Structure 1
Amino acid sequence: MKLGFNEATCMKKSDVETDLKFCEKYGYDYIELRLDMLKTYLKHNTIDDLKNFFKTSHLKPFALNSIENINFCSKKQWNELIDLFVFGCKVASQIGNPYMVVVPTVGKNVSDKNEQEVFIDSINVLNKLADIAKPYGLKLAFEPIGNRRWVCNSIRQAYEIISTINRGDVGLVIDCINFYLNDKCADIEYLRKIPLDKIFVFHINDCENLPLGILDHCHRNFPGDGCIPIKEITDILKEKGYDKTASLELFRPEYWNMEPEDVIRIGAEKTRVYL
């Protein structure tokens, strides 16, 4: 596997230029750029600046993050989502970024939707987004979020959705903490059922040993500093032949307050153990 970095890891104290600089310095292979950070970057830089960086660097773009709350949108919400999505598609096509991460909806107003409703809506929405993305050569990586507040929260549920869609340009994100948040990886063997060509993106992280219901994304740790069975997960992925990026994605406030260079350096050291 290749070493990847997701910009959420340092986003409160960093920016695109800083992340690019230190990811290149510490030997990362790929970066997952955040759409909000890209918009800030483009206020003072151009797409050509970004293209030129990637042309002359080892570091390459991998997956834009992220289009969120894709389910059960109002017309206004959908129009806003599409504006951001098309922006991402245009950037991706110009810098050679192959994937866009898309995330199900969170909120009290949708948490009572049953699985069949989520299944139908997700198929409809992902097909629409994939049709928009296709001319840009962009693929969609659908990421189930393990907390019950999100309408799609298990790898099994997400795989049933994307396998029914059955398109080469719609696949999955496997995220360690989201896998753990659903059932503490009790169904880890389910990973073996997912075809390799449907695993587009892998997010690597760890977390504190807290009860489900208390555990949240703010409790993420560097790989190896928590209780997630990362070795078992990565061993299964390796056995399947997955050799794309393992992207470090952390949302820990403690890390946000650290110097970005320190987080990126430590993250590289901690993640390489599993590659």
Structure 2
Amino acid sequence: MKTSRRNLLKGLGLGAVAALAPSTSFSQSAEIAKFSYCLNTSTIRGQKPGLRKYIELAGEAGYDGIEVWVEDVKQYLAEGHSPPELRRLIQDNGLRVENAIGFAPWMATDEAKSQQGFKQMEAEMNMLAEIGCKRVAAPGIGAEAPVDLMLAGKKYKALLNLGRKTGVMPQLEFWGAFAPFHHLGQVLMVAAVANDPDTRLLPDVYHLFRGGSGFEGLKLIHGNAIELFHMNDYPANIPREQQQDKDRIYPGDGVAPLPGIIADLKRMGGDKVLSLELFNPVYWKNDPLEVAKTGLMKMKGAVDQVSI
């Protein structure tokens, strides 16, 4: 039976669209992505409301979910609260706990530190599973430049196995100002080496810009490989290499190409959580509920402007 070029491309996962329209990204899905909205507690961290108040504020502001920090969960439980109690608190405020931010050194160059990082990650994953969280950030903590990306891919594969064991899946994250692991190209290499269907990436508008990745690489990513995406923006008046976490601003208030980013996310298909992650000390001086509401309004506004 003769195989057509179109069928061959389908078999390679590129699809007939790529064969017939070279200008269209092969990451485009037949279905448009569906978005929900999440508050990363870093956005109102400077006001120091505490985990209970983070949850109540996110619910009152109208978010669908919350992105917690592992250290805050540990502190809350250490104060005598139980995981089922925390899980109910999140549910009673109409939220899902979408992800957790942790810093276990699983990618450490030193093997002893890496193994300790895996033990820490497993303990934290088990804790997060008890509160209903199914994801945890996995940045390249402990890595030293130049990172052995082949080895990092094997470690990420092991981390995914740990995720399946615990029910909390690691989201491979990179930070634009972290020299060892700062670029989308590095993340894609690690993901390819892991060669695992449960691979998930956690990009961020600011980190894509700050690390020099740019945004066209998002077109190479398909479907559910991105489940959660950190939303923010960056100003025009600070050189890229000098920008810091504190310089992040509300989506739409800077010069990030948000329409193109959102369009690419939509074309990927799959369900996507847009999580507002800011560290701006100016916002930390303001009423936390107002900051949360403003951020949600601006995220939704940016999405509503994009039709594909």
User: Scaled by the length of structure 1, what TM-score is found?
Assistant: 0.88
Q: Distance in 2 between matches of 1:11 and 1:68?
A: 20
Q: Which runs of 5+ in 1 are unaligned?
A: none
Does residue 212 in structure 1 map to residue 240 in structure 2? yes
Residue by residue, what CA displacement relative to the aligned partner does 1:87-135 show, whole Å, maximum 9, x if unpaired? 321122223222111101478xx23x1xxx4312311321222222221
Q: CA offset at residue 249 of structure 1?
A: 0.4
1:160 and 1:120 mapped to 2: Cα distance?
Answer: 8
Find the counterpart in structure 1 of residue 208 from structure 2: 179
Q: Does 1:5 align with 2:39?
A: yes
Answer yes or no: is 1:42 the counterpart of 2:99. Answer: no
Alignment-mate amino acid for residue 51 of structure 2? V
Kept in 2: contact 1:72–1:121 (CA 8 A): no
1:71, distance to aligned residue in structure 2 (A): 2.5
Match of 1:221 in 2: 249
Equivalent position to 1:194, from 217, 221, 246: 221
Match of residue 54, structure 2, among 4, 10, 19: 19
Name the count of aligned residue pairs.
Answer: 266
Per the TM alignment, residue 34 of structure 1 is displaced from its structure 2 partner at its CA by: 0.4
SS of 1:2's partner is strand
Asked whether the 8 Å contact 1:3–1:28 carries over to 2, the reply is yes
With over 3 angstroms needed to count, the CA separation of the structure-2 counterparts of 1:222 and 1:106, relative to structure 1, is farther
Deviations 1:39-76 (A, max 9, x none): 11112221111121234342101111123543234355
Of 220, 242, 265, the match for 2:293 = 265
**Structure 2 residue runs without a partner (length 5+):** 1-34, 304-308
Shift of 1:273: 1.0
**CA 89–25 in structure 1, closer or farther in 2 if over 3 Å, else same:** same
* Partners of 1:256 and 1:173 in 2: CA distance: 24
Amino acid at match of 1:263: V
Which residue of 174, 178, 183 maps to 1:144?
174
What's the counterpart of residue 29 of structure 2? none
Which of 268, 273, 279 in structure 2 is aligned with 1:251? 279
Larger radius of gyration: 2
Percentage of identical aligned residues: 21
Equivalent position to 2:134, from 72, 86, 98: 98
Q: Which one-letter code corresponds to 2:218 in the other structure?
A: L
Within 2, Cα distance between the matches of 1:220 and 1:254? 10
What amino acid sits opposite 1:126 in the alignment? Answer: Y
> Is the Cα–Cα contact under 8 Å of residues 227 and 273 in structure 2 kept in the other structure?
no
For the 8 Å contact 2:106–2:116, the answer to whether it is kept is no
Aligned AA (1:198): A
Give, in whole Å, the separation in 1 of the partners of 2:92 and 2:49. Answer: 22
**What letter corresponds to residue 262 of structure 1 in structure 2?**
E
> Does structure 2 retain, via aligned residues, the 8 Å contact 1:62–1:99?
yes
User: Is contact 1:106–1:151 with CA below 8 Å preserved after alignment?
Assistant: no
More displaced 10-residue stretch of structure 1: 233-242 or 53-62: 53-62
Q: Secondary structure at the match of 1:64?
A: strand
Does the CA-based 8 Å contact 1:104-1:150 persist in structure 2? no
Distance change >3 Å, CA 184–CA 215, structure 1 → 2: farther
Counterpart of 2:148 in 1: which secondary structure?
Answer: helix
TM-score, structure 2 as length reference: 0.79
Tell me the distance in 1 between the aligned counterparts of 2:180 and 2:141.
6
SS where residue 213 of structure 1 aligns? Answer: helix
Question: Is 1:163 matched with 2:192?
Answer: yes
Distance in 1, Cα, partners of 2:205 & 2:110: 31
SS at match of 1:53: helix
